[in-house]
Amino acid sequence: MNPPHLPSGTAHQHGPLPDFLPTADGAAEVVPVVAPTGDRIWLVTAFDLGRSVLTDERFSRAAAAAPEAPASHPMRPDPAALTSLDPPQHTRLRRLVNHPFTPRAVAGLEEGIRRQARRLLAGRDRIDLVSQYAMPLSAATICRVLGVPKAEHTHFADLADRALGVTTGDFAEQGPARDALRAYIGELISRARRAPGEHVLGALATAYDEDGTLSHDELTALVELLLNAGYETSIGQLGLAVVTLLEHPEQWHRLAAAPHREAAAAVEELLRHTPVVPMSFTRVARQDVRLGTVVVRAGEALVVSLLHANFDARAHRDPTRLDITRRPARHLTFGHGAHICLGAQLARTQLRVALAELAAAAPGLTPRTPLSALRWRQPEAVVRGPLALPVHLTATRAGAVPG
């Protein structure tokens, strides 16, 4: 069983990638691979075909959450999670949590994100962009969406860090830490049931107590998903984005010359070039389905390689080149179709504001240690990113970046 290959331009991708995603040329559109679980699965590598698969109801997320289903990752999906459901169950739960993530609702959060970013950068000449910038910025934002009291933002960030290994990379302590985070979520839910308030937790608690549209397992899984996805992925993506820009100083200088004008396009190109999650969730075929020259049999599993798709030369002009002015910078980093990332709009806004404020404050940004010496999250984490990113916040443009 031959593994697929990534375009040569992705060979510099940061941090360990799954073993079945080697960095060399020559991928077919659909290839068989052996996952870390030992299961044989199909890997879709083409942009257009991957986009189609992500909207094809013949491939089921619910079937992939079954205990006996082939899996791409040792951590089994929670059957009650929003990401593990098919319509109409998925549609019902998605509708409950969609409102705070609409463009209009996210626009209302932007000024608060900007003020927080400026506070975190103010008066500093050095900073760890993971623990001292991305983490508190993401924590404050998702806590505001959920309705977590401001006094508890630091407590949440600490629990989430240990449970997800954002800066520790320590998987040994994740089990007990996840239990502690789950207990804290249970406490937040209990408070919201007593006093719902005008936030997501309140709406979910009301749906649980009055509408009867949520089970206890669904409620807990939804809050966990929102906390984890709205926090972990934003931290990892910002870290990846800054490292990539530091490795391409001409692109950083272009951003720093007009940060508020260039940031939106830069975000889309960085999402394409360095996706924080390299693969989609696993799906299982409900029936035999022909994909290109391959027939995926009923009961077989497949994943879409977002990394492959984002570098597909058939869909992207000169895909290996980083160009923050690329328009459009199409990508599948947030997925596509019914399961497109719920927090995509919020993530875009956080990344745009965080990068623009960083570039405005430190156009001469330089790493304090060689980028080649950075420590990265392991593939088991699913979400990629540096464990720390210490930099100098230099107000004048610097020269060459150490590699």
If you average pLDDT over residues 141-170, what whole number do you get? 85
Looking at the chain, the whole-number percentage of residues with pLDDT higher than 90 is 56
Range in 141-145, 215-219, 359-363 with the lowest mean pLDDT: 215-219
If you average pLDDT over residues 33-48, what whole number do you get? 93
Locate 392 and state its tokens.
Answer: 């100098």
pLDDT for position 378: 81
Residues 77-133 pLDDT 10s: 889 889 999 999 999 888 888 888 888 889 999 999 999 999 999 999 999 999 999
Q: Where are the beta strands (DSSP E) in 271-378?
A: 283-285, 289-291, 294-296, 301-304, 366-367
CA distances from 347 to 127, 262, 333 (A): 22, 17, 11
User: How high does pLDDT run on average in the chain?
Assistant: 88
Quick one: CA torsion of 71, 7, 167, 373, rounded to 10 degrees?
A: 140
Indicate the angle between helix axes 259-273 and 216-247, nearest 10 degrees: 110
Q: Which fold has domain 8-392?
A: Cytochrome p450 (1.10.630)
Range in 17-21, 53-57, 291-295, 329-333 with the lowest mean pLDDT: 17-21
Total residues found in the chain within this entry: 403
- The rounded distance, in Å, linking the Cα atoms of 314 and 264 is 24
Task: Give per-residue burial for 294-324: e unless 16+ CB within 10 Å, then b.
Answer: bebeeebbbbbbbbbbbbbeebbeebeebbb
- Checking if the pLDDT of 175 tops 80, the result is no
pLDDT for position 6: 56
- Checking if the pLDDT of 2 tops 60, the result is no
pLDDT for position 4: 46
If you average pLDDT over residues 60-64, what whole number do you get? 96
Q: Domain extents for the chain?
A: 8-392
pLDDT for position 11: 52
Confidence band, pLDDT 50/70/90 cuts, at residue 171: low
43 DSSP β-pair partners: 31, 303
Q: Which of 12-16, 91-95, 246-250 has the largest mean confidence?
A: 246-250
Confidence band, pLDDT 50/70/90 cuts, at residue 340: very high
- Checking if the pLDDT of 402 tops 70, the result is no
pLDDT greater at residue 174 or residue 394 = 394
Edge-first strand order for the sheet with 366-367 is 126-128, 390-392, 366-367
pLDDT for position 388: 95
CA distances from 313 to 1, 121, 125 (A): 24, 38, 41
- The rounded distance, in Å, linking the Cα atoms of 215 and 205 is 10
CA distances from 181 to 164, 174, 208, 226 (A): 10, 10, 21, 13
- The rounded distance, in Å, linking the Cα atoms of 328 and 70 is 36
If you average pLDDT over residues 312-322, what whole number do you get? 92
Task: Give per-residue burial for 330-348: e unless 16+ CB within 10 Å, then b.
Answer: ebbbbbbeebebbbebbbb
Instruction: Tell me phi and psi for residue 296, to 5 degrees.
Output: -90, 120
Q: What is the DSSP letter of 131?
A: I
Residues 374-391 pLDDT 10s: 999 887 778 889 999 999
Residues 178-193 pLDDT 10s: 889 889 988 998 898 8
pLDDT for position 8: 54
CA distances from 136 to 121, 152, 216, 302 (A): 12, 12, 29, 36
